[in-house]
Chains A and B, each alone.
Chain A
């Protein structure tokens, strides 16, 4: 999965228009994030042909996350043409199934 940072974020997410971009905002101390990660990798295998998968380590890229108005983990966002199209906040993610449901809406 593509690792995002402040150098590549604009090119890979904001200015990218080919397909929707899914970004997994996670942190090194966020247990729930770490548990979800293998499932997110499986989702990439399933939906990766029509959705671009990327992850952002917020422990290393705090300012970038805050600039995206992300201050809680895990947060999953789908960007379409550089705009936030859907945001899943931690309370909306009880299992990977919730992430899959969101992805299905963009898998066209």
Chain B
């Protein structure tokens, strides 16, 4: 018979890795299933300045590696697979991967979120041809070139500042005349000579035959359109949860975020959710890690009650 794990964690971002650490320290049999890169969104960012303790060598990949090692040291098991289906109806939960089927007493969903599209013309057609959602992945291409950044939150500003190390100029297009980002980031951005702002504007169309050659923007106050000559368009306008696989199996809000209580319990017994995938106000590494820890404590309590 297949091995039944105490906790199956779907997703190896900071929420999943933190669950792995807490679960294995509690001597539970913990498996993390990750389809892509460990660290999730965290592994794609150049700098995580606001996670307590991460000052030196605070790049996303290095923080990821340290979190992964720490979980592994206590016995967390890792597998590379993509979860494509689940059956949460029985006492033993079934998680179907592309390669294998897994069984667990509990499941923690930590599948995170992915960048939302900004919705301009040719955004999809010119993806990876100048339109990007990952500055650390693609910044190299834009050495000495002009790029635009869409968005006005923390991510948009952090990544814009990172891009100035490569690009000739970085133009931030924001739909309002005020930023949402943290004040310290705003200051950094305003003081950076390579960064320009265009306020009250939204992207309408990426221009270019095979690669991006320009971006048409529209002023939302005046309705006027204009074109800025850029070869790169980096989009940071928010996130959508990765929950398609769980639709119909657990309760979600209208945007697909999973609804939990403060102990990370979903509406299905034995199934928990942690991190960006959850309906909540602050989506950061620190809150993802906290969710992951709380979920394990709730899962452990459930296991002790249910399977004693």
Chain A positions near chain B (C-beta within 8 angstroms): 27-35, 39, 58-59, 62, 65-66, 69-75, 89-91, 94-97
Give the chain A neighbours of B43 by CB distance below 8 A. 31-32
Give the chain A neighbours of B82 by CB distance below 8 A. 94-95, 97
How far apart sit A31 and B232, CA to CA, in the bound complex (Å)? Answer: 20
- Check B137 for interface membership: any CB of A closer than 8 A: yes
4 closest A-B pairs by beta carbon, nearest first, are A72-B128, A35-B37, A89-B128, A30-B137
How far apart sit A29 and B62, CA to CA, in the bound complex (Å)? Answer: 12
What total of A-B pairs shows CB separation below 8 Å?
Answer: 96
CB pair A31 B138 closer than 8 Å: no
Partner of B129, one of A35, A39, A59, A71: A71
Partner of A94, one of B36, B130, B137, B140: B36
Give the chain B neighbours of A94 by CB distance below 8 A. 35-36, 82
Contact indicator per residue, chain B 129-141, by CB within 8 Å of chain A (1) or not (0): 1111110111111
CB pair B36 A35 closer than 8 Å: yes
CB pair A69 B137 closer than 8 Å: no
- Check B88 for interface membership: any CB of A closer than 8 A: no
- Check B143 for interface membership: any CB of A closer than 8 A: yes
How far apart sit A96 and B37, CA to CA, in the bound complex (Å)? Answer: 11
25 contacts between A and B (CB under 8 A): A29-B140, A30-B136, A30-B137, A31-B37, A31-B43, A32-B43, A62-B141, A62-B143, A71-B212, A71-B232, A72-B129, A72-B130, A72-B138, A72-B141, A73-B134, A90-B137, A94-B35, A94-B36, A94-B82, A95-B35, A95-B36, A95-B80, A95-B98, A96-B80, A97-B82
CB pair B38 A35 closer than 8 Å: yes
- Check B151 for interface membership: any CB of A closer than 8 A: no
Give the chain B neighbours of A71 by CB distance below 8 A. 128-130, 132, 138, 141-142, 211-212, 231-232
How far apart sit A91 and B36, CA to CA, in the bound complex (Å)? Answer: 12
CB pair B139 A75 closer than 8 Å: no
